[in-house]
A and B are shown apart, each in its own frame.
Chain A
Amino acid sequence: MRIKKKLQHVLLACSLLFATVCIGQAASYDYPISDPIEATIISTPEEAMAILPKKIRVKEYLTFDVFPDREVPEVFWYNEKLRYAVAYQKEKAPVIFMIAGTGAGYDSAKMKMMQRAFFQAGFHVVALSSPTHPNFIVSASSSGMPGDILSDSEDLYNVMEEMLERSKSKELIGDFYLTGYSLGGTQAAFVAKLDEERKVFNFKKVLMINPALNIYDSAVKLDKMLVDNVPGGMDHFNDFYTKLMANITESYVHGDFVDLSHDFFYSAYDAILTSQEEGKAVIGFSFRMSLANLLFTSDVMTKSGYIVPKNLELSSTDSLTDYNKVAFRGDGFGEYVANILYPAFKANEPGLSLREFVDRSSLRVIEDYLKKSNKIGLMTNVDDIILADGDVDYFKQVFGSRAKIYPRGGHCGNMAYKDNVAYMIDFFKIK
C-alpha cells in the first residue's frame, strides 16, 4: 500500500514537473475568451477547465466563534459565528489558507474550484470568506467596518491564528501557504507582511491572484461600470434591474442559490450577453449587490446611523426590504467609505484627507517588502478590468520574474483554466 502511495506521489511530481516544462516552452496561451468583460462574466468554458476531482474530503459549514463575548445584534443572529470549510488530508500535509474576493463567501464557485485543485495537490485547504462578506463582518471583524486593508488583514490573521491554536490535530499540520483572489489577493500580501512581525505561520509561499493595486480605485471603477452603463442612465435603473432579474431567474434553480456573490449573478450570463454595455452593467450590478450587504451590515454593526437609525434595535423578523432599496441605490463603495469608514478614522486623526486614507490600502505602501520578498508571487491578466493603465507595468517592475502575466482572462475569468491551475499548483509545489 505504502509503496503504491509513494509511487503515486512520484508520478504526480513528475507530471507536474513535466507540466511546468511545457508551460515554460509554450509561447501560446489558449484561454478561449478574448474579451475581458466576457471573460470576467463567463469565466472558463467547461471543456477548457482544469480537470479536478468532483468529490473531495471536505468539512463544510464549519463554524468558529471568534469573539465569544461579542453581543451580536439580533437581526444578524445567523451570522454570530464565522463559517468556513476545510479540505483535509489524512496524513501530515502542508496547509494552504485561501481568502475570497470582495463580498464572496468561503463557498463561492472560485473558492471551491481552488479548494479542489489544492486538495488534489496534497494540501490541507482552509477556505475563508472575504472580510467584506456579511458573515465575516458580524462574526470576525474587530471594527465591524471592512475596507481599511491593514485592519482587515489583522482580522484575518487573528482568525487564522485562533484556528491554529484550537486545532485538534496539530500533528498533521505541516508548512503554511497563503493565497487569495481579487481583494483577497491584495489582502494576502498584507497578511504575509504582518506574518513577518508576528511569525505564527512563517508562510513558505504566497500567491496573489488578480489582486487590486489600490482597492479603493478598483472599487470606484466597478461602481462606475454600473452607473455608466445602465441603459438610459441611473434614472432607468429599475427597468434594468427588472430585466436582469428575469435573466437570473431563467437560470436560477433553487439548489444553485448558494451564495449571493458575483459567481451567482454571472452564472445567468453564460450565453446571453447582448452587448459590452450590458456586460459592464452586470459586473457593476453584482459588485453593487455585495456593497448593499456591506453597507447595511456595517451601518448596523457600527451604529453609524447612516441608513438605520443608530438607536433602533432591529429584530430577527423586521422587514429589511426598504433598507435594501436605500443601500442599493447610492454611490456604492465611494459612498460607504466617505460616510462610514473614513469618518471613523478621521475622528482619531483630524488631519487625515480622504485620499491619504484610501492610499493606505494600496500595495504601493508595502512596495519595498514586495520587491525583496521572494516568496510572494503574483498572477494576473493584462486586461484585468479592475486595474488602471500602468498597473500591470508596475507589477512587472515590482515583482519581476515573480509576476505571471497572462495576455487575457479579464478579472479572474481564467482562474479555472487548465494552464492557470497548473501554474498555481506549481507555484506552491516547487521549492
Chain B
Amino acid sequence: MKIQKINAMTVLVLGLLLTFLSGCGAKQPAEQEAGMGIIPPTKPVSEYVQSDIVYPIDVYDPWEGFNRNMYVFNYYFDKYLFLPVVGGYAWIMPDYCEDRISGIFKNFGEIRNFMNNLLQLKFKATAVTTGRFLVNSTVGLLGMYDPASHWGMTRYKEDFGQTLGHYGVGAGPYLVLPIMGPSSLRDTTGLAVDAVVRSEVLDWALDDVDNKSNVRTAIDVMEAIDARHRVGFRYYQSGSPFEYDLVRMLFLEKRKMDIAK
C-alpha cells in the first residue's frame, strides 16, 4: 500500500515537473543578437562561437530557462529558510555532537551504498559496505563513530543514478532540482528510487515506534539539515556571471567520474 502511494506521488511530481519544463529553454545570445533593432557588438557570438564544435562548457541543457529559475529559487530558499535553520543548528550543537549526528546518517546511507554496489555487481565493495555497516552499527554505536574506516574498510559511495549510469544510461538533460540543486534526469530518477528504498527501510525499522509519522518527519528534517550543514556551497557566492555554467559543467563531470570508478 505504502509503496504504491509513494510511487504514485513520485510519478505525479515528476510528471508535473516535466510538463512545467517543456518549452523552458533559455534565450540564447545568438537569437538575441539577431533581434530587431539590436546593435551588433564588436565580437558577436554568431561570429566568434563556432557552431560546428563542442566546447567543454557545452552541456545538454534543454530546460535551461527552468533550471536558471530554479537556481534563483534555491538561492532564496537557502537564504530565508534553509541556512538560518542550519545556522541555528550549528549554533546550538557542539561540533562534537554534529559529527556524531552526521555519522549516524552516513551509516544509514550504507544501505543505499549496499544496494547499489550489489546492483552493479561490485562484490568486493558490497562485502566491504556490509562489513562497514555491521561494525559501525554495533561497535560504532549506530554510526556515531567510524571504527570501520580505521580498520581499512573504505566507504564505497554508490547511488541509483550511478547504477543507471553503470549500465549505460546517459545523464539526459541537466536538471536543477528545488532545494537539492544540480542533478540530471537520470540522477533525479535515481534519487527517487533511492528515496523509496530508504523510506521502506525506515518504515520497517520504526515499526514498533508510537507516533511513527512524527518521528519520521523529525528524521527527514534532521537529515536535510545535516546534509546542508556539511556542504559549504552557496548560490552566487562566487560572484561570477558564469557560475551557473561552471557548476553545471563541474557537477556533470563529477558524476561521470563517479560512475567510471
Contacts and interface: CB of A to CB of B under 8 A. Distances in A.
Is chain B found bound to chain A in the same assembly?
A: yes
Nearest to A103: B240
Interface in A278-314: 292-293, 296-297, 305-312, 314
Contacts of A242: 56
A325 B72 contact: no
A257 B233 contact: yes
Interface stretch (A71-79, A174-182, A207-215, A371-379): A71-79
Contacts of A129: 239
A317 B42 contact: no
Interface in B3-24: none
B37 interface: yes
Interface residues of B, number: 54
A197 to B, nearest CB: 31
Interface in B101-159: none
Given A249-B254, A257-B247, A320-B244, A310 B27 contact: no
Contacts of A293: 239-242
B42 A305 contact: yes
A255 B181 CA distance: 13
A307 B239 CA distance: 19
Interface in B216-261: 230-247, 249-251, 253-254, 257
B227 to A, nearest CB: 11
B48 A326 contact: yes
Nearest to A318: B27
A319 B26 contact: yes
B43 A330 contact: yes
A250 B240 contact: no
The B interface is mostly helix, strand or loop, or mixed, namely loop
A255 B58 contact: no
A322 B41 contact: no
B94 interface: no
B169 interface: no
B39 A255 contact: no
Interface in A322-358: 322-326, 329-330, 339
Contacts of A76: 241
A242 B250 CA distance: 11
B35 interface: yes
A323 B45 contact: yes
A425 B120 CA distance: 55
Interface string A103-140: 00101000000000000000000000100011100000
A252 interface: yes
B247 to A, nearest CB: 7
Interface in B46-78: 48-49, 53, 55-58, 64-65, 68-69, 72, 75
A95 to B, nearest CB: 24
A322 B32 CA distance: 12
Given A293-B242, A319-B26, A329-B48, A254 B231 contact: yes
Interface string A238-274: 1001100110111010111111100000000000000
B75 A78 contact: yes
A397 interface: no
Contact of B37 (A79, A306, A311, A330): A311
Contacts of A134: 239-241
Given A242-B56, A319-B64, 16 more contacts: A134-B241, A249-B257, A258-B238, A259-B238, A296-B242, A306-B41, A310-B41, A311-B39, A317-B68, A318-B29, A322-B30, A322-B45, A323-B241, A325-B45, A329-B48, A339-B42
17 contacts: A79-B236, A129-B239, A249-B250, A255-B230, A257-B250, A305-B41, A307-B41, A307-B42, A309-B38, A309-B40, A310-B39, A318-B32, A319-B64, A320-B241, A322-B45, A323-B45, A329-B48
